[in-house]
Structure 1
């Protein structure tokens, strides 16, 4: 309300005889109503979840929101394509496709995905084996160093 007080003082100095409350009521009647607030933008966590889930598991509300986000950013669109392709490699055990995926990621120069690809290459044979064979060590994870009581 400091703007009302400032205006009241200024017009009072120029001879306006009215009260502060009269000026305030006048301004309230002529003030534009605030514009409606649009939908909140999605959080980073939401977008990451949308990108890393299988497209068929996205909710009805999430699909158009993801589409809108991807339309806003071409780099994110490219990253989404690579994330989905990697997800397919993982879920279908097609580790033999990994070299082509790494080449495609590097060609698009996305720093985070390039760093991830470099990490995969640091132990490439093990990664390909893990993405090709149906065996995994999931049931024993965390039990290797566990001591009995």
Structure 2
């Protein structure tokens, strides 16, 4: 059509973004040639698409585990590149399992005003109160929780799920986690649905954290201690003083 309107090869090439010699070749043919696709390489996750799709259908949807499997089969790409492919599959499967209520009209929620100050309760305060057990609430915090429950139906659902999840983590029965995940997915609260989806990606680690007595508290505490020392000494001391403050004295070790 462009050529029939009187435009030259150069004008057509500038308009569609190809070389003018390519335009001349296309005009001489009766139909456009098929686009040649580059051959897939082991650095692309699509090279292992059939294997990944089979494992995905079998229920294995943990990214790290799939990454190790394809690396064993010759995958040379990065984990983030694989995650981009898996994220599209997760989005498709997640969209197909969502309840119909998420497409309904949002619940009307009014502002929650602190009865003591008259100011609106901030999201940070509401988040901290959502996770705090009733027995640990002060009288003023109890009043704020009552106001939040009255003003926000979502807060009621989130607090119930948060308290249940807190009890599961402090208990020793990981079987209760399945029921909690089901309720969180069908809660209608988007943040809780996303949290349940994140837990499901590495569900075995969550189960082990509930059932096993070990944790990484000591390691995390030492890391936090080291970072505190570094920030306090930044620009004023070197590695020798940091080593002296971080490591125990030899005399203490001997005794």
1:80 aligns with 2:159: yes
TM-score if structure 2 supplies the norm length? 0.40
- Asked if structure 2 preserves the Cα contact closer than 8 Å seen for 1:96 and 1:132, the reply is no
Of 173, 180, 184, which aligns to 1:101? 180
Q: Distance in 2 between matches of 1:47 and 1:94?
A: 29
Superposed CA offset, 1:95-135 (max 9, x none): 22111000011112211111111111111111111022221
Superposition map of 1:1-149 within 5 A: 39-141=118-220
Distance 1:115 1:95, change over 3 A: same
Instruction: Give runs of ≥4 in structure 1 deviating > 4 Å.
Output: none
**Residue 121 of structure 2: SS of its match in structure 1?**
coil
Q: Distance in 2 between matches of 1:139 and 1:98?
A: 26
How big is the shift at 1:76? 1.6
Residue 251 of structure 2 corresponds to which residue in structure 1? Answer: none
Aligned length: 109
- Asked if structure 1 preserves the Cα contact closer than 8 Å seen for 2:130 and 2:155, the reply is no
How big is the shift at 1:52? 0.9
Report the RMSD for the aligned CA atoms in angstroms.
2.0
Structure ranking higher on relative contact order (CA contacts 8 Å, 6+ apart): 1
Extract unaligned runs of 5+ from structure 1. 1-37
TM-score if structure 1 supplies the norm length? 0.66
